[in-house]
């Protein structure tokens, strides 16, 4: 009897279940791995545009040449206020997302992408750095004012001498189109510093 029950159980396990959904409730055809559906992605995009328009009407983009720290802080305050109003369940865009999209929309075609990190986040262990990649690429992707030895110990020591807590450890000239987050990963990987967290 136990053998019969086991066979019935195994046959049930092999039963395939098919679920049919409408196109708008399915993920994009080119990104089938996403959990979000086309409808949800469209709703998210509308929410981003809504809050982006409201925030920029209160705090317009200063200009390409003007300092932007105060402008970004103002966007962060607006986002934090909405979080409090919604009891920290606000599902709209982050201030960083609105700022980055606005910066890209107003940036020239070619930009200098600079990566900063806190000095405390610089790896202490040289084993956490691809030394061969660093030696070959630090002159290209590293801080352009560095002229020392092409090793992590030397580069890290030099970065630590900076008086600021956040230091420029990588930079590259690139086009402003495309996904900058992917470009950031590429630069860190090229330098052998994939584990460094950007500030």
Q: What is the DSSP code (8-state) at residue 18? A: -
pTM metric for this prediction: 0.61
46-90 pLDDT, tens digit per residue, is 888 999 999 999 999 998 888 888 999 999 999 999 999 988 888
Three-class SS state of 112: strand
Range of lowest pLDDT (15-24, 40-49, 58-67)? 15-24
| Cα distance between residue 63 and residue 21, in whole Å | 46
- DSSP conformation letters of 125-193: SGGGS-HHHHHHHHHHHS-TT--S-SSHHHHHHHHHTSSSSEEEEEEEEEESSS-HHHHHHHHHHHHT-
Report residue 84 as tokens.
């409090």
Identify which has the larger pLDDT, 16 or 140. 140
| Cα distance between residue 75 and residue 190, in whole Å | 33
| Cα distance between residue 4 and residue 46, in whole Å | 56
137-163 pLDDT, tens digit per residue, is 999 999 999 999 999 999 999 999 999
Sign of torsion over alpha carbons 158, 162, 166, 170: negative
Under a CB-based contact definition with an 8 Å cutoff, are residues 138 and 146 in contact?
A: yes
10 Å CB burial of residue 188 (0-12, 13-18, 19+) is buried
């Amino acid at each position: 009897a136990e053998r019969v029950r086991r066979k019935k159980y195994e046959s049930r396990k092999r039963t395939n279940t098919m679920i049919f959904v409408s196109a708008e409730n399915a993920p994009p055809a080119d990104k089938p791995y996403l959990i979000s559906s086309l409808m949800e992605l469209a709703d998210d995009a509308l929410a981003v545009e809504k809050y982006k328009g409201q925030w920029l009407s209160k705090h317009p983009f200063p200009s390409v040449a003007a300092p932007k720290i105060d402008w970004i802080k103002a966007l962060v305050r607006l986002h934090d206020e909405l979080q409090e109003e919604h009891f920290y369940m606000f599902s709209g865009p982050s201030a960083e997302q609105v700022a980055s999209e606005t910066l890209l929309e107003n940036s020239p075609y070619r930009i200098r992408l600079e990566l900063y990190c806190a000095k405390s986040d610089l790896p202490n262990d040289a084993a956490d750095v691809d030394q061969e990649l660093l030696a070959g690429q630090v002159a290209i992707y590293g801080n352009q004012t560095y002229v020392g030895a092409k090793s992590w110990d030397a580069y890290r020591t030099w970065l630590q001498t900076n008086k600021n807590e956040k230091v420029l450890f990588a930079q590259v000239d690139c086009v402003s189109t495309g996904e900058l987050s992917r470009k950031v990963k590429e630069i860190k990987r090229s330098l052998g510093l994939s584990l460094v967290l950007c500030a």
